[in-house]
Amino acid sequence: MRKPVALRLSAALGTLALAAATGVVLNMPTASAAAAGATGYATQNGGTTGGAGGTTVKATTGTQIHQALCARAATSTPITIQVEGTITVGNTAKVSGTGCNTAAGVIELKGISNVTLVGVGAGAVFDQIGIHIRQSSNIIVQNVTVQNVKKSGSPTSNGGDAIGMESDVHNVWVDHATLVASGGESEGYDGLFDMKDSTKYVTLSYSILRNSGRGGLVGSSDSDLANGPVTFHHNRYENIDSRTPLLRGATAHIYNNYYVSLNESGINPRAGGKAKVDNNYFKNSKDVLGTFYTDLPGYWQVAGNIFDNVTWSQPGEENNPAGPNPTSNTTVAIPYPYTLDAASCVPSIVTATAGANTGLKVSDGNCAATTPTATPTSTPTSTPTASATPTATSSPGGTNLSIGADSDGSSKASGTSYGNVRDGDTGTYWSPSGATGSVSIKWGSATSVSRINIREASGATGNIGSWRVLNGDTGAVLTSGSGAGVISFAATSLKKVTFEITSSAATPKVAEFETYA
């Protein structure tokens, strides 16, 4: 396949790219809860509701996003994670737990379901770090900016995709996102919005894709044909070389999008791919629809589109443009209801609504912007670590229930004992055999516990990193956080409580694991 040429950035777009690269975000109105519901193909196959009905937490780092996922009782426990601030490779660590399967340097939504990730407040910027959705379902990503994700150079993340989906993913809604690069493949970037290896029932709506060699693909190769269907509506593609999108064997419904400066090619169905292309506006672009760079044909159904200063190349063995007078060569049945804005107003309505930090505004179906009724969410907690950050290393008061109890754990270093954490002697300690591990306090009958106090041994203060407190009877996560000290949670009747260390700065040494009612 021919590689896209380097982008020809204008001075104005270069300024935008510079702002993106430096993390400058201006004039960003406050956003709150998710809008009133998914649209397009994301409404099919059971629908896409994300974390609706679950708890709501707030995160300001990538590690806190992972902690929120991992603190769930199960991988399917619904959760809405409200994100504010700048997420980077440097503040995104791997976190382990029953509700997650994460990796450092990428926002990893892997092997999970029922999650909403939404930018709030002053905005959420994922700077040089991608969002990876893998083996997951019922996911909403909304009101976020993802910028300058690279597959080569430094730092690298997510194979260079701003948002990438692969390996049995279904029912994903990405809405009001801004996905930005600062060049093409030769500059280290890949796709802005990629779907492959059985990714199905996806909608991308009211989003901006800008300054990239590749807008996105559905299917990673001409043999990866089990993807889609996908809906693209009310998005703005600007200064893109190709793939808006590339469809390999997939079906896409593409309506009311605004395409500006597609430098080499645009919508590219191939290898049996089909696109229903309704009421879009194409401006100052080349070869905006057709099958390109292959002799494996694709198909399209067109109606109501406007082609404003669009040029078309001559047909060839691996070049089959739909223009200069595009006509349909297939039909595509759409199973969901939708309303088309007139193509003539697409530039204005998309400019008013698309992208992060636009107040989640949408079209009313008659070329006017409106703010939909928000979906109610529970009151967010503070950041996942903040609500459970230890408050002091002194005793919280009351009877230490660990004295006279029993204890066990997952591992212990040579010369240490589980009993050392319940003997009232801070001169002795338990230490895991590695950087992580767990230790438990247990009783012969159910005991109500609402606070614990973790005391580190002398010389080991600050070694404990992230942790979880578990109900040892059920495995449920009672709380999570980082650092030693007093930890509070809802009073729970149990026979065993476990303190699980999931990361550490150096060898952890727990002198006392105190428990209180």
Q: What torsion, rounded to 10 degrees, do the Cα atoms 324, 329, 331, 337 define?
A: -10
- The list of the chain residues with pLDDT below 50 reads 1-35, 376, 385-393
Q: For the chain, what is the radius of gyration of the CA atoms?
A: 26
Q: How far apart are CA 106 and CA 88, in angstroms?
A: 9
Q: How far apart are CA 19 and CA 26, in angstroms?
A: 9
CB 199 within 8 A of CB 222: no
Active-site option among 210, 214, 243, 270: 243
Q: Kindly report, residue by residue over 463-493, the tens digit of the pLDDT.
A: 898 788 889 888 787 887 778 888 988 889 9
Is 214 among the catalytic positions? no
Q: How far apart are CA 73 and CA 71, in angstroms?
A: 7
Residue 487, both tokens: 């930890």
Place of tokens 């109501």: 304
Instruction: Give the pTM.
Output: 0.71
**Within the chain, what is the greatest distance between any pair of CA atoms?**
86
CA angle, residues 203, 159, 25, in degrees to nearest 5: 65
Residue 488 phi/psi, 5-degree rounding, is -115, 150
Handedness of CA 339, 342, 348, 354 (dihedral sign): positive
Strand 369-370 with 362-363, pairing: antiparallel
pLDDT at 36: 64
Question: Which SS3 state, helix, strand or coil, does residue 186 take?
Answer: helix
Q: How far apart are CA 366 and CA 341, in angstroms?
A: 6
